[in-house]
Amino acid sequence: MERRTIGAAALAVGAVGLGCMPMSWAYCGSRQRGDESLRALHRALDLGSTLLDTADMYGPFTNELLVGRVLKERRADAFVSTKVGLLVGEQHIVANGRPGYVKRACDASLRRLQTDVIDLYQLHRADPEVPVEETWGAMAELVRAGKVRALGLSAVGARAARRAGAGLHDGTIRQLERVQQVFPVSAVQAELSVWSPDALDALLPWCTAHGVGFLAAMPLGNGFLTGTLTPGEGFEPDDMRARHPRFTAEMMAANQPIVAGLRRVAARHGDLVTPAHVAIAWVLAQGAHVVPVPGTKQERWVAENASAGDLRLSPEDLAELAALPAAQGSWD
C-alpha cells in the first residue's frame, strides 16, 4: 500500500487506515464478536493499513484492550492512534482535560494497548472548564517523557459548533492556533466524505497550510456510501444510526442519488470497483496528507477498504462527484 507522511513529526502510515470503534462501540449492537474483530485487525496490518485508530472512551476501554491484543504480537507493524479527554458516564459523555487526569489516562491506555509508546495521542474534545493550552501542555509532557510520539486534535462536532454560534470548524481552528503555540500539532481528525464535505471549506485548507496531517473520519458516511444499506431496513437498537436523522428510511431514500453517482463512477473502472472504493478514493484525492480512516469490524470490508488505495480517479470522475446533490437530513 502507498505510504503517506503526515505532520511535523513525519509520521509514516498506510494511505488507508482502520477505524476500530465499530468493533466495540456505537455500531456493534448485539453482534460484537472479538474473534471477528481480531481477524479484521490482523488483515488490516497484512494489507498495509497500519494506522489503527481507537480511543479510551470506546467501550469504554474495551476497544483499546482489543487493539492491545494485536499490538502485543505485531507492534512493529502498527501505527497506533488513541484519544483522551472524554469520560463515559451512565447517561452523559463529559470532557475532562485536567492535566493530572490526562497523564493518568495515558498510562492506563499504554497498559491496555500493551505498548510502551503511543504513536499519535489525540485530544478527543477540549474541556470547556480547562484552558486547552493546559491540556495540550500536559500532552506535550508525555511526548517529552517518551510515552507519546506526536499529538493530534479531534475536531468538534457540528452540534457543539452551532451551540457556540460558530461555523462548523471555526472553534476547532481557533483551538489549533492556540495549541500550536504550545507544541506542534501533527494531525487533525474530522469527518470528511462525499456526503459530508464541510472540512474542505476551512479545516482541511488550514491543515494544508500548516503542514498538519488530516485523518478523515467516516469516509464511507457511516456505511451509507457503500451502497449496501437498504432504506427502511432498520438498525439494531444499540447502533447509533437507529437514532440518526440522516438514517431514517425517508432520508436514506432521498439520498440515494449520491450512491447512484458513486456507482456510475465505479462502473467506469471495472466490475470489481465498488461505491466504497470510489468514496475512499475521493477522500484520498483531497491531498497527499489526507488519510481516510474507515471503520469496520469485518475482515472482508477491511480488504475492500484497503484496496481503494489502488484506485485513481480521473478529473472527470472528480468533477462528477463534485456535482452530486448535497445530502439531505441533519447530520447530528
pTM for the full predicted model? 0.94
Q: Is 65 within the bounds of a domain?
A: yes
Give the per-residue pLDDT at 295: 96
Does residue 157 have a pLDDT over 80? no
Q: Is 290 within the bounds of a domain?
A: yes
Q: Is 328 within the bounds of a domain?
A: no
Count of structural domains within the chain: 1
Catalytic pick among 27, 58, 101, 121 = 58
Q: Is there a catalytic annotation at residue 101?
A: no
Q: Is 13 within the bounds of a domain?
A: yes
Q: Centre a 10 Å sphere on the Cβ of residue 117 and count the other Cβ atoms it contains.
A: 16
Q: Is 215 within the bounds of a domain?
A: yes
Do the beta carbons of residue 45 and residue 77 sit within 8 Å? yes
Q: Is 101 within the bounds of a domain?
A: yes
Full residue range of the structural domain in which residue 34 is found: 3-220+286-311
DSSP class per residue in 117-136: -EEEEEE-S--TTS-HHHHH
Name the band, by pLDDT with cuts 50, 70 and 90, for residue 159.
very low
DSSP class per residue in 161-223: HHHTT--TTHHHHHHHHHHTTTS---EEEEE-BTTB-GGGTTHHHHHHHHT-EEEEE-TTGGG
Do the beta carbons of residue 56 and residue 82 sit within 8 Å? yes
Question: Where does residue 222 fall: left (phi above 0), alpha (psi -120 to 50 degrees), or beta otherwise?
Answer: left
Q: Is 128 within the bounds of a domain?
A: yes
Domain of 297: which CATH number? Answer: 3.20.20.100
Give the per-residue pLDDT at 134: 98
Q: Is 74 within the bounds of a domain?
A: yes
What would the mean pLDDT of 172-197 be, rounded to a whole number?
Answer: 96
Residue 153's φ and ψ, nearest 5 degrees, are -130, 135
User: How high is the mean pLDDT of the chain?
Assistant: 92
Which cell numbers hold the place of 55? 480511543
Which cell numbers hold the place of 105? 489516562
Residues 6+ positions from 322 with CB-CB distance below 8 Å = none
Does residue 9 have a pLDDT over 90? no
pLDDT digits (tens, 9 = 90+) for 201-223: 999 999 999 999 999 999 999 99
